[in-house]
Amino acid sequence: MKKYVFGADLGGTTVKLGFFRTDGALLNQWEIPTVKEEGGRQIIPDIGKSLLAFMQRENIPMEEVEGIGLDVPGAVSREGLVLTGVNIGWEGEKDAASELSAITDLPVVCANDANAAALGEQWMGSGKNTENLIMVTLGTGVGAGVIIGGRILAGAHGSAGEVGHTALFPELQEKCGCGNTGCFEQLCSARGMMRTAAKYAPSGSIDGVPLEKLNPKEIFTAAGKGNTLCAEIVAEYAANLGRGLAVFASILDPEVILIGGGISHAGEALLIPVREAYRKHVFYPAADTPIIRASLGNNAGIYGCARLVLTQR
Ligand SMILES: [Zn+2]
């Protein structure tokens, strides 16, 4: 194996770039803006230029670099073709890997961003020393990635592991962003938690504070201080989340389930009731599967991208 590898985590506002040793040590990292104008056509050239400039400045010989891993906020086929990249201006299918490879003269492997984050955690984060895991990121939406045998599970349409859009809650009437109703994400994202809060506070406020001025963090804090209404909201949120994880684990039987994203900062206040709900619903052989916090935070993507080049080629 060569000495170095790059990871490029392409997001809606910035591209995070990481320079790694192939043993997993992160040696350098920086960011460049994601220029979405003109159908996002500058994005890949910008990444290429930034990496080439870095190699020149740091005197990194091309022969010592394994390649570049690239992730995108969209569906990616098993072959690495970007199927949808609407958040970054791309339309139709795009062979971003070949484009970046042509600019840099290095091998490039491309994957979905949530899948890359899961691979990063499996390589150097909370999933280290496991081969099979599910990672669920609880943010504005719910992102997820599935790693089986140390590799990303992409699926036939690049949508394997999109647990956010499993139709778990038939009682919901409102449409999800995906067009369906009843999606896991509708109750288990940060926005979903506020939806549950609205159900418990029909007046539109908790202790005089309007719901639109509250966020999940404040609900957890208030629940911890003994606010009964907030404790009920947390309990229902955790019950829904645990039930969902039980369904996913009953199908995939991972070694560990990782929880990332803003809401995961609630820590054990979230995870204890989630584990309880999980045990209640999961198929019994998987009852003791650990449910723990992801540990790489916003860097999971660049780690996963670097790992892509080493495992998915
Ligand atoms: Zn949906």
Contact status, residue 162 vs residue 172, Cβ threshold 8 Å: no
Neighbours of 148 (CB within 10 A): 15
Q: How far is the CA of 98 from the centre of ligand 1 (A)?
A: 31
Tokens of 252: 């995939």
Q: How confident is the model at residue 201 (pLDDT cuts 50, 70, 90)?
A: very high
The full set of domain ranges for the chain reads 4-122+298-311, 129-294
Fold of the domain built from segment(s) 129-294: Nucleotidyltransferase; domain 5 (3.30.420)
Rounded distance, CA 143 to CA 165, Å? 10
The CATH-assigned architecture of domain 4-122+298-311 is: 2-Layer Sandwich (3.30)
CA 53 to centroid of ligand 1, rounded, Å:
41
CA of 186 relative to ligand 1 center, distance in Å: 7
Share of residues in the chain with pLDDT > 90 (%): 93
Helix or strand run (H / E) with residue 147: strand 142-148
To the nearest 10 degrees (0 to 180), the angle between helices 216-224 and 228-252 is 110
**Cα 309 to middle of ligand 1, angstroms:** 31
Q: Are domains 4-122+298-311 and 129-294 of this chain identical in fold?
A: yes
Cα of 113 vs centre of ligand 1, distance in Å, is 18
CA pair distance 270, 233, nearest whole angstrom: 11
pLDDT, tens digit (0-9, with 9 covering 90-100), for 127-142: 999 999 999 999 989 9
Spacing, Cα 188 to ligand 1 middle (Å): 11
Q: How far is the CA of 185 from the centre of ligand 1 (A)?
A: 7
Nearest-angstrom CA–CA distance, 134 and 120: 12
The rounded Å distance from CA 164 to ligand 1 centre is: 6
pLDDT range class, residue 189, cuts 50, 70, 90: very high
In this prediction the pTM is: 0.95
